[in-house]
Amino acid sequence: MDITVNILLTIATAATPLLIAAIGELVVERSGVLNLGVEGMMIMGAVGGFGAGYLTGSPWIGLLAAIIVGALFSLLFAVMTLSLATNQVATGLSLTLLGLGLSGMIGTSFVGQPGVRLPNLDIPVISSIPVVGRLIFGQDPVFYISIALTAAVMWFLFRTRTGLTLRSIGDSHTSAHALGIKVFRYRYLAVIFGGACAGLAGGHLSLVYTPQWVENMSAGRGWIALALVVFASWRPWRVLAGAYIFGAVWIGQLHAQAFGIPVPSQFLSSLPYLATIVVLVLISRNKRLTMMNTPASLGQPFVPDR
Amino acid sequence: MMRIELVKRPQRSALFSVLSPFIAFALTMIAGAIMFALLGVNPLDAFNIYFIQPISEVWQLHELAIKAAPLILIAVGLSVCYKANIWNIGAEGQFIFGAIFGSIIPVLFPQFEGPLVIPLMLLLGMVGGALYASIPAFLKTRFSTNEILTSLMLVYVAQLFLDWLVRGPWRDPQGHGFPQTIQFGDSAVLPELMPDAGRANWGFVFALVAAVAIWLMMSRMLKGFEVRVLGSSPRAGRFAGFGLNRMVFFTFLLSGALAGLAGISEVSGAIGQLQPVISPGYGFTAIIVAFLGRLNPLGIVAAGLVLALTYLGGEAVQSALGISDKVARVFQGMLLFFVLGCDTLIHYRIRLIGVALMKPNAAKLDAAPKLEEAR
């Protein structure tokens, strides 16, 4: 029983950064912007979070720093793609490349340093109820943030007027602009929200998942988060499901390696990436589903005629 | 509070399409100077070490050519993809598979020698890269799966596969347990161009030939026209009878083969054996090269040399100033950012508007004549 609980807990820990980053990107893409820089914003959040935590000794300040760094970094993307109408694919890629380089440079002095870890929630008595206690009341704070964030985004997108407006911009920025909606304001805020989420996800990596700084520690999670959004056909609760499936794959291959299954470890390590491809193929085979849900103006630059 | 407004030019500005890479380079220099100053290094000293010293002697120019060759080869292929609005970003994986396929002969059949070995290896390298690139192409055409994500995921898979090969079945039994294959035999090593002057090998010649060939294709042949039409308007392309699916395969196979050629040239020329890591991110840096070269093969040759210099400079500042060689990646990232930003100037005029200065009344007055005009 204890083993099952432990495995479930590690799956939740592995799924949390994927979920947060994907939920952020979902909002960005719903507004019609494709930000391929998730990996870069995530790794910047990771190094910023670790650095701030290491220097101040407080993991909470670290977490806050991760969010701020992620948001600031995404602002760069917003200025380029929104104000200067650059190609979103190329700009997103360059954000990732810049983030990987910059984080490596900033993090040189953090390599091998002991980090600080966000403590798990520990409510006396309740947290020690068998099974349920630790699963529901004994996880790290970011886990709860991720669940709350998913619910909040679901509510915001489909139950509020602002959310409806955001989705309408994603479907047709020209019509939205003609109706007098401030397309740029919405998109700027959406991109920054996505950046803050990716930063938070990175902070989770370096403050909870493995409380230390390792170069390239995001290991493609930002890209998997992007794939999750497509997999979920831009619906928050499906992102949640997808993130946990991928968390399970990630943890599953680690456990398989630890058990000494006679398959080369490299093959097991490549499972999450192969799973991403398989899942993308399965979902995109269904053309109607994808066509109906893809924000129609996704990735297209918008320059209004004034 | 400032607001940026873009005003569309009637036609693309010839001036800025020439100037924009230079402006981008200048802006990168300024940002780089600030970065060095923040790191506590005199920017002028740093620039001297970074950009001048690594190319001040002849043998160093050879090193530059070694680094530039794979960048140019890969970027030239990618430029065709990007012109067609097809996004292959997995060149790093295709590079690795080209290296693996090409190494089949020297690793598994080391007794096979002679002048045929090198051409066969190069051919196998191109086949390997093209085969690996055909996976995202197939998935895109058959299932309309997003090629950005699949080609990128395959990079991680390729890296892990190479890691397994050199630690497992292909490891040199006499290698004292080091994760590497046997050293390639003499006839499997890509010859140096001028052995007396430096290490540069035939890879650089391949890069130049590929650049000229692709330039001819893009500017003089129907295929190049097809690429450009499908890239700017798939609908118009369909009316002209150009197949989009065929184009996806064509661009992926072409760029994959070139990346594969780069991979085997690097392994056979510069390294001499397979190792767990055979590329300092050439496949990704080539994306920057492609854009800095304005997706023009001849521009890409120049851009490839510039980016190769950022690698050499990174190594130089690391050994001279003790700054992480990641500084190279930062320079490369900034360069791409500024290039993309400056490219806006080609199609748009940029107007800065002081929002706070404009009174509501003034705005209305400004809007009124426009309405008149519209009528």
Residue B152: name the closest of A284, A303, A149, A224 by CA: A224
HSE-up of residue A68 (Cα within 13 Å, Cβ side): 11
Contacts of B79 in chain A (CB under 8 A): none
Q: How far B132 CA sits from the closest chain A CA (Å)?
A: 14
Closest CA in chain B for residue A266: B160
At a CB cut-off of 8 Å and minimum separation 6, what does A48 contact?
A65, A66, A68, A69, A70, A199, A202, A203
The token pair at A291 is: 């066509």
Identify residue A180 by its one-letter amino acid code: G
User: Looking at the partner chain, which of A102, A273, A306 has a beta carbon nearest the beta carbon of B156?
Assistant: A273
Tell me the H-state helices in B84-146: 91-102, 104-108, 117-143
Smallest Cβ distance to B160: which of A84, A269, A287? Answer: A269
List CB contacts (< 8 A) between A80 and chain B: 337, 340-341
Partners of B348 in the beta sheet?
A: B8
From B336, B341, B350, residue closest to A97, measured CB to CB? B336
Residue of B nearest to A278 (CA): B150
Looking at the partner chain, which of B4, B164, B340 has a beta carbon nearest the beta carbon of A83? B4
- CA of residue B60 relative to chain centroid, distance: 21
- Residue B352 structure tokens: 């800065």
A contacts of B290 (beta carbons < 8 Å): none
Q: In this predicted complex, what is the ipTM? A: 0.87
Q: Which residues pair with B123 in a beta bridge?
A: none
The predicted-structure confidence for A280-296, as pLDDT tens digits, reads as follows 898 888 777 777 778 88
Chosen from B152, B289, B323, B352 to mutate, greatest number of chain A CBs within 10 A: B152
> Helix B14-38 and helix B327-347: axis angle, to 10°?
150
CA-nearest residue of chain B to A216? B326
Q: What is the pairing mode between strands B348-354 and B2-8?
A: antiparallel
Name chain A contacts of B149, Cβ cutoff 8 Å.
223, 226-227, 230, 276-277, 280
Nearest to B145 among A76, A220, A284 (CB): A284
A290 touches chain B (CB under 8 A): yes
| Surface-to-core class of residue A254, CB atoms within 10 Å of its CB (0-12 exposed, 13-18 middle, 19+ buried) | middle
Q: Is residue A291 packed enough to be buried (19+ CB in 10 Å), middle (13-18) or exposed (0-12)? A: exposed
Domains of chain B: 42-322 (1.10.3470)
CA B160 to chain centre: 22
- Chain B CB within 8 Å of residue A60 CB: no
How far apart (Å, rounded) are the C-alpha atoms in residues B290 and B299? Answer: 8
CB A277 to CB B5 under 8 A? no
Confirm if A50 and A18 have CB atoms less than 8 A apart.
no
Q: Which residue of B has its CA nearest to A185?
A: B3
d(CA B13, CA B293): 17
Q: pLDDT tens digit string along A7-22?
A: 888 899 999 999 999 9
CA dist., res. B13 & res. B15, Å (int): 5
Sign of the Cα torsion A29, A33, A34, A38 reads: negative
DSSP H helices, chain B, are: 14-38, 43-47, 58-83, 91-102, 104-108, 117-143, 147-167, 202-220, 222-232, 234-239, 244-265, 282-292, 297-321, 327-347, 360-374
Give the pLDDT confidence score for residue B223 in this predicted structure: 86
Q: Do the beta carbons of residue B185 and residue B106 sit within 8 Å?
A: yes
In whole angstroms, what is the distance from residue B269 CA to residue B288 CA? 24
Measure the CA–CA gap between A260 and A269, rounded to whole angstroms: 13
B83 Cα to chain A: minimum distance (Å): 12
Helix A59-78, helix A88-107: angle, nearest 10: 150
pTM recorded for the entire structure: 0.88
Nearest to A266 among B139, B154, B164 (CB): B164
Distance from C-alpha of A182 to C-alpha of A177, rounded to nearest angstrom: 7
Alpha-carbon span B290 to B82, nearest angstrom: 9
- In tens digits, chain A (306 residues) has pLDDT values of 677 888 888 899 999 999 999 999 999 999 999 999 999 999 999 999 999 999 998 999 999 999 999 999 999 999 999 988 888 988 998 999 999 999 998 888 888 888 888 888 777 777 777 777 777 777 888 999 999 999 999 999 999 999 999 999 999 998 999 898 999 999 999 999 999 999 999 999 999 998 889 988 988 899 999 999 988 889 999 999 999 999 999 888 888 887 877 888 889 889 889 998 998 898 888 777 777 778 888 888 888 876
- What chain A holds in terms of domains, given with CATH numbers, is 2-293 (1.10.3470.10)
